[in-house]
Amino acid sequence: MSAPTDSDDDARRWAAQREALRGLHRELLHEPVPEHLLQTVEQAGNQRFWSRRWMQAGALAASVLVAFGAGWIGHGQWNMRSAVGTQATRAAAPALAFAHDAAVAHAVYSPEKRHPVEVAATEQQHLVQWLSRRLDKPLKVPDLNAEGYALVGGRLLPGAEGARAQFMFEDGAGQRVTLYIGALTDRKGASAQESAFHFAAGEPVASFYWVDQGFGYALAGKLPREKLLALADVVYKQL
């Protein structure tokens, strides 16, 4: 059996002190807690609880207010931008839609090899009379031979506001341009006002379009802007 060490003596002394402390005022451990102390503890707990709740509620209200304010400002700015954009779009929408239709018609028919047109250039007189009757307007085919483009022919197409006419031209390299013509009205149903040249880029090809005496004209083709503008100017002067 080993002899007791200093650490064993220390452990015994700590145990004795713990028991002595437990025995001190042992009778008080079984007495009820005074009522005033319970009320104090309860009030303190409630204060901390409601303090946390009010802080959470305040933070939530502040975040809602900030979000609401930002949303309202953004809503106002969005409405303002939307209103301005909508007004501009409505004013330009008929002509832009017309130019888009011209570009789509060009993209659909210009690649055709055997049937690019309904009536060939060999029947130009019949072509012009037929399309003039359908569009209820005397039409004229511009002469672009000096610019290197010969008439291939034309066709009748449907449009949002009635019949449309398309004349197709081709140069020596097989490059084609099309002239798209049709009545054009504004949002109120009145004839669209005259306009200068406007350029519509892409989607699916570029075009220059304008309005003259209630009719829209759009020259479309896969050409550089300057060359397409020069051709459009020739067409405009002849029509």
**Does the residue 216 lie in any domain?**
yes
Note the pLDDT tens digit of each residue in 130-178. Answer: 999 999 999 999 999 999 999 999 999 999 889 999 999 999 999 999 9
Which residue has tokens 């409601």? 50
Q: Is residue 86 part of a domain?
A: no
97 lies in some domain:
yes
Task: Determine the structural domain holding residue 101 and report its residue range.
Answer: 91-238
pTM of the entire predicted model: 0.62
Confidence of residue 122 (pLDDT cuts 50, 70, 90): very high
Query: What pLDDT is attached to residue 185?
Result: 82
- In Å, how far are 24, 40, 122, 194 from 31, measured between CA atoms? 14, 18, 122, 103
Arithmetic mean of pLDDT, 79-97: 53
Distances in Å between the alpha carbon of 51 and those of 55, 64, 177, 200, 229? 6, 20, 78, 64, 74
Q: How many domains does the chain have?
A: 1
Coil, strand or helix at 185: strand
Check residue 164 and give its pLDDT: 98
Residue 70 lies in a domain: no
For residue 10, being part of any structural domain is answered with no
Q: In 10 A of CB 3, how many CB atoms?
A: 5
Centre a 10 Å sphere on the Cβ of residue 87 and count the other Cβ atoms it contains. 10
Q: Quick one: average pLDDT of 16-31?
A: 58
The C-alpha angle with vertex 109 and arms to 107 and 115, in degrees rounded to 5, equals: 160
The CATH number that applies at residue 118 is: 3.30.200.100
Domain-located, residue 29: no
